Structure 1
Amino acid sequence: MRFRLKRLSKKRPQRVHIKIQDGQFEIIGMGAWYSYWRDPYHLLLKIPWTGFVFLICLFYIAINLLFALAYSLGGDCIANARPGSFADLFFFSVQTLASIGYGAMYPKTVYANIIVTIEAMIGLMGIAVMTGLAFARFSRPTARVTFSRVAVITPYEGVPTLMFRTANRRRNLILEAHMRVYLMRDEITAEGQFIRRFHDLRLLRNQTPSFTLSWLAMHPIDELSPLYGMTAESLSQTNTNIVISISGIDETVAQVVHARHSYTPRNILWNSRFVDIFHHTDDGHRYIDYKYFHDVLPID
């Protein structure tokens, strides 16, 4: 039995360029190796609503123009259509595609009936697909979680601690909320190999039964912390980036929602603390003033 080996393509592999600025990674030219046009379903779910509506209108007009052209090739095949009127054929296509059928114009030849049959089938499938896409976009759960603009490193119980704040802007309950914090930085292994390494940052409290108002996350910088012994300069030199991921069950829609944020060395303030947002009223109750949510104060 003989086997034929396919020749390997000599085409130069496509590259993905990564721009690093203040520890923040930005992928440039991602379309060079992947195009959303190869995955139209994902494209229609990711683009903004304005782009989605624009593409739907563009497709709708294009398909009706195509069938109007097909009707014109059949000559005088549509009853009550003005001779040579492309506009009448276009609007007849609109009526057929949407199954409106006013009755003023109708096919009168076998050729026209065949085109009408094809267009009616495409119209049914198109409505089903567009309805499914619109429902998928409307039903996709989202979280409205705000993160403080900066993170601070301040003493807590005698230990330097990384802190940042989050708040649930919807004021509903996010049940069984979990927070994960990762530190990413450039490192050189013992073999001299460059690597972008991920480290888990341990939090004093990484979950809560209900995330309603605010959440102050704290990571103690002790001997076990990847941040131990690091300075603002070393964070910048190693392109350190701190990534936060929150997930939980939205009580309103009973679906899992996610939120993500990152801090670069420029967004980490040393020897600073957050301004307190919890206050007491004269009658002994408490309230939260979100006006100071992002404010910090230096520590002497």
Structure 2
Amino acid sequence: MEEGSGNKSEKCDKHPFTTQYKMEELGFGTSPETENERLIFHDGRFNVRRSGLMLYGGNNSLYHWFTSADWGTFSIAIIILYLIFNLFFTGLYYIAGIEGIIRRPGLNNLEKFFEVFFFSSQTLTTVGYGRVSPLGIGANVIAYFESLTGLMCFAVATGIMYGRFSMPNVKLLSSDKALIAPHKGKKSFQFRIANARKNQLLDAEVQLIFSWVDVSCDRPIRKFNNLKLEINKINFFPLNWTLVHVIDSESPIHGWTKNDLEESNVEFLVLFKAFDDVFSQVVHSRVSYKYNEIVWGAFFESMFRKDRHGETLLEMKKISNYSLIKENDFFDYL
């Protein structure tokens, strides 16, 4: 609600919270565009797609696209660009006259094309086997510029590859479901995360944000609230980490039911950051849980055990394993 709304804001708050938990909006806006929209996908991507921009999102962003694209898309793009350059210079050789390159008699048109095409690829990569060399000014000028283009392309490609490998990022595994579980005689909201790489993460910190849509006002308003975690920061992160928000009388979600969570299009946003000792930089990750990704009345199963050598074995495939509690009636509300 806007400032100055006074009593109207208080009257239309279906679930009024104390000021200490309230937040300004996070950057998603306060007006939900569609019903049941998601703010963050489970893999950390924002549910936002930009349109109306130039290719690759505008000027000077081609490098960013190459460094941020997934490896499959990146590999396909490199192969396509390589073929385009080869075909372009092959066409120039045809324009200048392939007599300066083709000196084998009796070749049909397809064989001549492949002869010129592979000569172009050898020139572009500066391989130069020596079997064929261009004759005439036109063919030599084209070969000159093609070899220069090849050197520049490989220099750029080397920089892009370095950028991809040196880019700090974190591969964070998270449980598929969040749980409403018993904890020290009370109810709690729990989820589990683990580092999927062998590097060490230090000073790991998690922030849990509760997003919900207030439909009791004149128009739906998206609101955000901090949820206090029992432990929100650890110095070392070698094992899995189960994050716990205790649902006591001070919790913003105390007294909510399953229907309340669904009607309010609730989403729990998880913001993670830690110091990566390999890149010596702070890395970030995100994940979220919608109301329909919460299991009521369950607890996480243990992920680690001692092996026969006495070492702790962390079984990552068990990140989402949980067991249901028989007394499920206890969890009809928070």
TM range (shorter): 0.7 to 0.9
Question: Displacement, 1:285?
Answer: 10
Question: Displacement, 1:173?
Answer: 2.4
Partner in structure 2 of residue 208 of structure 1: 234
Q: Which has the higher contact order (CA 8 A, sep 6+)?
A: 2
Call closer, same or farther: CA 1:120–1:287 in 2, change over 3 Å.
Answer: closer
Partner in structure 2 of residue 258 of structure 1: 284
Question: Displacement, 1:240?
Answer: 0.4
- Structure 2 unaligned blocks of 5 or more: 1-31, 328-334
Question: Displacement, 1:199?
Answer: 1.8
Secondary structure (helix, strand or coil) at the match of 1:179 reads: strand
> CA contact under 8 A between 1:279 and 1:287: conserved in structure 2?
yes
Alignment of 1:248-287 (within 5 A): 248-276=274-302
Secondary structure (helix, strand or coil) at the match of 1:198 reads: strand
RMSD of the TM alignment (CA)? Answer: 3.4
State how far apart, in whole Å, the 1-side matches of 2:231 and 2:54 are.
41
State how far apart, in whole Å, the 1-side matches of 2:316 and 2:135 are.
70
Measured against aligned partners, the alpha-carbon deviations of 1:38-59 in whole angstroms (never above 9, x if no partner) come to: 4443433343323322221121
| Structure 2 residue corresponding to 1:67, chosen from 82, 85, 89 | 89
State how far apart, in whole Å, the 2-side matches of 1:22 and 1:126 are.
43
Call closer, same or farther: CA 1:290–1:78 in 2, change over 3 Å.
Answer: closer
Measured against aligned partners, the alpha-carbon deviations of 1:245-269 in whole angstroms (never above 9, x if no partner) come to: 2221223443433332211112223
Question: Displacement, 1:80?
Answer: 5.5
| Structure 1 residue corresponding to 2:224, chosen from 185, 198, 215 | 198
Question: Displacement, 1:108?
Answer: 2.7
Measured against aligned partners, the alpha-carbon deviations of 1:125-162 in whole angstroms (never above 9, x if no partner) come to: 21112222222223333433322232222343444321
- Structure 1 unaligned blocks of 5 or more: 1-16
Partner in structure 2 of residue 114 of structure 1: 141
State how far apart, in whole Å, the 2-side matches of 1:255 and 1:262 are.
24
**2:239 is the counterpart of 1:217:** no
State how far apart, in whole Å, the 1-side matches of 2:219 and 2:50 are.
29
Farther off after superposition, 287-296 or 116-125: 287-296
> CA contact under 8 A between 2:209 and 2:226: conserved in structure 1?
yes
Alignment of 1:1-300 (within 5 A): 20-21=35-36, 30=49, 32-34=51-53, 37-38=56-57, 39-76=61-98, 78-79=100-101, 81-82=103-104, 85-170=112-197, 172-188=199-215, 192-276=218-302, 293=319, 294-298=321-325, 300=327
Secondary structure (helix, strand or coil) at the match of 1:52 reads: helix
State how far apart, in whole Å, the 2-side matches of 1:35 and 1:86 are.
35
Call closer, same or farther: CA 1:276–1:76 in 2, change over 3 Å.
Answer: closer
Secondary structure (helix, strand or coil) at the match of 1:225 reads: coil
Secondary structure (helix, strand or coil) at the match of 1:67 reads: helix
Question: Displacement, 1:225?
Answer: 2.7
Question: Displacement, 1:237?
Answer: 0.5
State how far apart, in whole Å, the 1-side matches of 2:153 and 2:324 are.
58
Call closer, same or farther: CA 1:34–1:225 in 2, change over 3 Å.
Answer: farther
> CA contact under 8 A between 1:79 and 1:106: conserved in structure 2?
yes
More strand by share: 1
Secondary structure (helix, strand or coil) at the match of 1:107 reads: coil
Letter in 1 for 2:283: V
State how far apart, in whole Å, the 2-side matches of 1:108 and 1:153 are.
77
Q: TM-score, normalised on structure 2?
A: 0.71
Identity %, equivalent residues: 31
Partner in structure 2 of residue 10 of structure 1: none
Measured against aligned partners, the alpha-carbon deviations of 1:247-299 in whole angstroms (never above 9, x if no partner) come to: 21223443433332211112223343334557799xx9987676765213316
State how far apart, in whole Å, the 1-side matches of 2:38 and 2:149 are.
50
- Size of the aligned set, in residue pairs, is 281
Letter in 1 for 2:245: H
State how far apart, in whole Å, the 1-side matches of 2:138 and 2:282 are.
52
